[in-house]
Structure 1
Amino acid sequence: MSNARATHLTRRGILAAGGALGLGAVLAACGDDDVKSGGSESTAAAKSGPWTFKDDRGTTVKLDKVPTKIVAFTGVAAALYDYGIEIKGVFGPTTLENGKADVQAGDMDVSKLTVFGNVWDQFNVEKYAAFAPEVLLTTTFDSAGTLWYVPEASKAKIAKLAPSVAISVYDRQLTKPLQRMWELADSLGADLTATKVTDAKKRFEEASERLRAAAKARPEIKVMAGSAAQDVFYVSGTNFSIDLEYFKALGVNFVEPSESAKKATGGWFETLSWENVDKYAADIIMMDDRTATIQPADITEATWKKLPAVKAGQVIGRSPEPILSYDKCVPMVENLAKAIEDAKKVA
């Protein structure tokens, strides 16, 4: 199977719906593709002395000093950037074909980043080794602690070059990984008393209360989390995904595919043909905003255009891989709150 097809399956299949469970099976079906990635140097690590951090796998990394030669998954680097920790070497979706920033790069200036792997299954191990990284930072989407965007084919080589830290974004509410990223930033020397940081946390808490109130006032409004690929449409379940679990806990009324329908994807989502995209009634549709998926404005399927929520203009963006800083999570909570407040009952 070609690399292009493998990328289509992983990014628009498993990843498109915000899930990673079952990814190994998909990749196995595609064969082992070579992988590459890289890293660079961090600035703003003000602390001195030994550095210790226990990650969400239960792994404790100990270094003689606070690391500055850090390699991070793009979304992790973007979150740390919001706390004043600048990491210059990244792997994962960073730049678009036109050179502009991928949505997962947040506020980072991508022109100043060294990108060692921009898409799934790319990781330049040689450059990574030459850089002599002190630590690799990423997330994990499963209970096994699989390192996100670290390729299966080269993970052993990568592991020998530097210890890794993983923040879990699996089967927990958004507030937990947000807190863990906060703790990671703190360990790296971030000033968490800075007004920008404390204001963002306060705004997140206020946005959450607004969403809770909106959901309570309008329990009849049904929300569906979807993702579009060329041949199929994915409907996400609320289990496992940190954003949907959190929104559900705040009272949002979600479309929930049956367990049997989600079985093929390990419980993450249901796959529908475009002909059956109207299987579930929804007043609001949240659509995956990642660049590997087809965005609402580019969907040409007639069945999509006939959906009540689409005809009513009640389609909003969703970040299945949110940048884990309070600043970046405020808009996604506020947008859903506003959508529920303003929604017409159409389904």
Structure 2
Amino acid sequence: EEASKAAAAKAKEEEAAAAKKKRQEEAAEKKAALVARVAAATTSPSPSTPAAAAAPSPQPSPSSWGNVRHIAGGATELRATLEEASAADALCVVDWSMTTCGPCQRVKPMYEQMARSCANALFVGIDVQASSANADLAREAAVTAFPTFHLYKKMQRVAEMRGADVPRLAQLIATHGGPIAPAAASSGSDDEPLPTTEEMQRDIGKALATLRGSVAEMSEFITSVKTLLTFVGNVVNHPGDSKYARVRTTNATFQSRLGRHPGGVAAMEAFGFKRVDEGGPDDALVISPRAAAHPALPQMRALLESAIPADQRDPAPAPTPPSLGGMGAMGGF
């Protein structure tokens, strides 16, 4: 009986190994088919074109880029576009999307703005519902989540990102292809003016007053302020690092210590964060590079630190606040 059980277990292991091998072979076949298909699309001359006239047509120069190029021809058109970017030694960014995908449509204006702000890269949009050729290409490329972004350099994919995380996409593009104008890397309007120092001070004061009135104990308020200081301090101490420019509203620390209280989100917004609807429960508060570089941000952080009683502040010395009237100018606590 034991021998029978052992044999059965071994048979199951062999079946599992065979199934795994089969899946790997199928994936390899799909990848090879995709490579062959896109290669054939451009290497095979048209039957109606004489061999002597088969010279490639001139490609647009990078100076003519600046808008999202929407593809409907599937592998044929994508291959030609990748070759164009490769010939210019430029990055090619591909946005895989669906017309019926909410996050895809919400990120579209920011993606188009990126294309206008980063003329040294070629931006492409592939709506998989626009044509059967696009749908076939998405299946062969194993694109199953939308939006998905692929970055190509010299015909080779160098990065992939899933989701509508604009600051993260901007960071990837900057890493592989060059910087993007700060406004394009944010989720806000490129012509939205930054608040003045006085306006920031006023809005922070209002938010903190609401926050203080929403908690029963002073200890809760101090915890909320320290949490706010952590998020703001990360932005000030790590300029340009997209990791600190985004806070999920479902983040456990944010939600339990700050976000659940009235005035908590408003306080983040007063420091320059903006709410971004990413579809579903994982919305985020995002600060653009431009807002993160606001010259008054360190001053406002210093004022925020002064809202905490001296005996409960962190040991690290705080920067000396500017002459703005202290927290009394914010209404006092």
Class of the TM-score when normalised by the shorter of the 2 chains: under 0.3
- Higher strand fraction (1 or 2): 1
- Higher helix fraction (1 or 2): 2
TM norm structure 1: 0.26
TM norm structure 2: 0.27
Larger RCO (CA under 8 A, 6+ residues apart): 1
Q: In terms of Rg, which structure is larger?
A: 2
